[in-house]
Amino acid sequence: MLENIRLAFQGIWSHKMRSFLTMLGIIIGIASIIAIVSTIKGTSEQIKEDLIGSGNNTVQVLLYDGDSTYDMDYGSYGSSATPPVISDSQKTAIGDLDHVISSTFYYSSQSASVYYKNTSFQGGTVYGIDNSYLKTMGYLVQSGRGFVQKDYDSYRKVALVDSNAAQNIFGSENPVGKTIEIGAEPYIIVGVITQSEDNMPKINTLSEYEEYSQTIMGSVMIPDTTWPVAFKFDQPQNVTVRADSTDNMSSVGKAAEDVLNTGIQNEKNKSNFKYKAEDIMEKVKNLQKLSESTNQQLIWIASISLLVGGIGVMNIMLVSVTERTSEIGLKKAIGARKNIILGQFLTEASVLTSIGGIIGVVLGIILSKVVAQVSGAPTANCILTLTTKQAKLVAIIGSVVFSMLIGLIFGLLPSVKAANLNPIDALRSE
């Protein structure tokens, strides 16, 4: 075996240009497939990040009245039914669900009146939040402080503003310590908060822009215990849960949905109400499938170069058999068996394609980076992004083994021809 490998390298080296041109189809094919697969993976990750956000695994569970979402500000048109109330036991059950890191239950109003001196805050959102809201939604305290438990227990009229609301209401002034009016009730601002970059919303549609416009204007937050003081009406709570991973978002949302709907079924006059989780992961998967189905066609096209490369290997091996007819005849005359000759030429073909595979892997990694830089297309190298060294090694070895198989398949015919040569006829050909 080692002798066959030595002879294979000797033959390749003695015909360097011919060998390189033979390997070129293999090199291009392997490199193209790696680059395309990298683009597929990069596009899939980009789709996921655009819709979800990097590290933002929150799922909103929306209240529906019939087939439409329940309007938190205006209720249901033409319906006198009161929306369901989320019980403490339901909140506990959702918090205890598998794969749930945290959950939050909060009120919101986009039509609330907020005033500071002669300045009216319009277009933003007022939230009545619980003590887990900031953690779940990915907010950080920029200045001042967040809410403490005593704020909730003592029904303190305190407020938080995000950085956008702080700019729109107070301009260059420090908001901390200032008093604002919410629903004609005075609230003292105790802190300014900002949302981490991973949790910033991604804008893909006009409706998402309209929703995001509320975020641009900013948010004002008060403890949920003081919500009835400012608004003086009962309102259903919004529900958001954070999953421990992106892959578990769908299952977590469905489980929270089931808990909430079980409570509705146990109440009278709530038959039109139901909770539905936003299944963003389903959107992600559908878009990923569309992208992958398109790019997989490119993989088949790239595979043609492997076929061409394999045919090139077969052609050059047939030429090699013809050139070495007398050598084969001499070896058979001194006792070399068919399997020895067959093994020698198969080894030469597999070594040739394996070298091409190695070069193709390196070129594919480089090509994926070049494509990303030149075109701006998202790529995630299908080998370099693997999580462990073992996985990277397996992927590289797999690419080389695949190349070797091409050599064995397309080198079989020339090798069989060489093994079946009649030694007398072979010697006569000299």
Q: What is the residue whose two structure tokens read 């619980």?
A: 130
Q: Among the ranges 8-17, 19-28, 42-51, which has the highest mean pLDDT value?
A: 19-28
C-alpha torsion angle, residues 395, 398, 403, 408 (rounded to 10): 180
What Rg, from alpha-carbon coordinates, does the chain have? 34
Q: Which two tokens stand for residue 105?
A: 């239950």
pLDDT of residue 270: 57
pLDDT of residue 52: 46
Q: Among the ranges 133-137, 385-389, 413-417, which has the highest mean pLDDT value?
A: 133-137
Span of 30-44, 108-122, 164-178 with lowest mean pLDDT: 30-44
Residues 6+ apart with CB under 8 A from 116: 169, 170, 178, 179, 180, 181
Can you give the residue ranges of every domain in the chain?
A: 2-51+285-428, 58-278
CA separation, residue 113 to residues 121, 124, 129, 197 (Å): 7, 10, 17, 29
CB-based burial of residue 26 (10 Å sphere; 0-12 exposed, 13-18 middle, 19+ buried)?
buried
Q: Is the pLDDT of residue 338 over 70?
A: yes
CB-based burial of residue 159 (10 Å sphere; 0-12 exposed, 13-18 middle, 19+ buried)?
buried
How far apart CA 36 and CA 296 sit, in angstroms, is 8
Closest CA to 113 of 180, 195, 196, 201: 180
Q: Which two tokens stand for residue 200?
A: 């910033």
pLDDT mean over 200-229:
67
The H-or-E segment that residue 38 falls in is helix 16-51
In sequence order, what are the beta bridge partners of 219? 125
Number of residues assigned to the chain: 430
pTM of the model: 0.56
Q: Is the pLDDT of residue 190 over 90?
A: yes
Confidence of residue 386 (pLDDT cuts 50, 70, 90): very low
pLDDT of residue 124: 83
pLDDT of residue 332: 73
Cβ neighbours around 335 below 10 Å, total: 7
DSSP state letter for 50: H
Closest CA to 84 of 278, 262, 221, 277: 262
Q: Mind listing the pLDDT tens digit for each residue in 253-268?
A: 899 999 998 877 666 5
Residue 214: φ, ψ to 5°? -65, -40
Q: Mind listing the pLDDT tens digit for each residue in 80-116?
A: 567 888 889 999 999 999 999 999 999 988 888 899 9
User: Dihedral sign, CA of 367, 373, 379, 382?
Assistant: positive
In sequence order, what are the beta bridge partners of 125? 219
Q: Is the pLDDT of residue 357 over 60?
A: yes
Q: Among the ranges 3-7, 205-209, 271-275, 297-301, which has the highest mean pLDDT value?
A: 271-275
The H-or-E segment that residue 128 falls in is strand 125-129
Pairing of strands 238-243, 58-65: antiparallel
SS3 of residue 99 by DSSP: coil
Residue that wins the pLDDT comparison between 349 and 208: 349
pLDDT of residue 279: 64
Closest CA to 276 of 320, 307, 239: 239
Residue that wins the pLDDT comparison between 116 and 308: 116
Q: How far is C-alpha 287 from the chain's CA centre? A: 11
Q: How far is C-alpha 176 from the chain's CA centre? A: 39
How far apart CA 33 and CA 266 sit, in angstroms, is 56
Residue that wins the pLDDT comparison between 76 and 265: 265
Residues 6+ apart with CB under 8 A from 390: none
How far apart CA 221 and CA 420 sit, in angstroms, is 86
Closest CA to 319 of 337, 338, 344, 345: 345
Residue 242: φ, ψ to 5°? -110, 125
How far apart CA 318 and CA 418 sit, in angstroms, is 9
